[in-house]
């Protein structure tokens, strides 16, 4: 969800106002994805590298996240959305984690779309930790290294139990994946828009979904002959 700060600065506003406006886009896109029957939506809220930003901005982001987690509970329940998180809990404020855990607990029984928030997340760190767990099991004699395959490895990732993304949408014209779900997006279709996240709306989502639907996914094969 790139471009919050740039959206604000282009309007002569503090960067935090861009983040505040970005929450509106989160609500709008989440509701539209539910309406369209999307099974899973993952939003990259905060990368493990984002801690380099100014502390006041980070503090505001955590407060905004906590506020979102509390205020959206009724809507998530109404739309039967299940909330989950991927990323490291270490370093996140206790109040934010408490709000996250409570919302996840309340929505755990919902049977609708899964909304996954990537918070303090970095794909390289995720992959390294998965490798460590497998290495420890092999060292302890509970796992034959020869039995490690893609399925066993994927089961050690934060996203275990989830399907891999079909479509990766990148806002603000950014042409990189920025350490996001590096294992999981191996065959995801990419769609990039110049629109900043606060301006990303249902029309642009429709354009992304239409582009995805028009593509032939070959997964390394030759496709239709």
Structure tokens at 176: 């990189």
Which one of the listed residues 50, 164, 199, 201 is annotated catalytic?
Answer: 50
Does the annotation count 2 as an active-site position? yes
Which one of the listed residues 2, 4, 120, 158 is annotated catalytic?
Answer: 2
Query: Do residues 205 and 176 lie in contact, with contact meaning Cβ atoms separated by under 8 Å?
Result: no
Give the per-residue SS3 of the chain. CCCHHHHHHCCCCCHHHHHHHHHHHHHHHHHHHHHHCCCEEEEEEEECCHHHCCHHHHHHHHHHHHHHHHHCHHHHHHCCCEEEEECCCCCCCHHHHHHHHHHHHHHCCCCCCEEEEEEEECHHHHHHHHHHHHHHHHHCCCCCHHHCCHHHHHCCCCCCCCCCCCEEEECCCCCCCCCCCCCCCCCCEEEECCCCHHHCCHHHHHHHHHHHHCCCCCCCCCCCC
CB atoms within 10 A of CB 82: 18
CA dist 166 and 197 (Å) reads: 20
Catalytically annotated residues: 2, 50
């Amino acid at each position: 969800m790139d471009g919050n700060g740039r959206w604000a600065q282009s309007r002569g506003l503090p960067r935090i106002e861009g983040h505040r406006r970005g929450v509106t886009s989160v609500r709008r896109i989440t509701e539209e994805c539910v309406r369209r029957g999307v099974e899973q939506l993952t939003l990259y809220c905060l990368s493990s590298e984002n801690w380099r930003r100014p502390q006041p901005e980070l503090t505001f982001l955590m407060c905004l996240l906590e506020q979102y987690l509390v205020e959206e509970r009724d809507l998530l329940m109404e739309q039967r959305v299940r909330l989950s998180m991927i990323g490291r809990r270490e370093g996140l404020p206790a109040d934010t984690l408490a709000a996250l855990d409570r919302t996840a607990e309340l929505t755990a029984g919902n049977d609708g779309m899964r909304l996954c928030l990537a918070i303090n997340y970095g794909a390289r760190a995720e992959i390294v930790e998965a490798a460590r767990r497998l290495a420890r099991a092999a060292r302890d004699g509970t796992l034959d290294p020869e039995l490690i395959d893609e399925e066993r490895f994927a089961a050690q990732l934060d996203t275990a139990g989830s399907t891999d993304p079909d479509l990766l949408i990148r806002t603000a014209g950014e042409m990189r994946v920025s350490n996001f779900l590096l294992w999981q997006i191996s065959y995801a279709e990419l769609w990039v828009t110049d629109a900043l996240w606060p301006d990303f709306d249902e029309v642009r989502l429709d354009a992304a979904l239409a582009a995805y639907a028009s593509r032939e996914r070959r997964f390394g094969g030759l496709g239709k002959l």
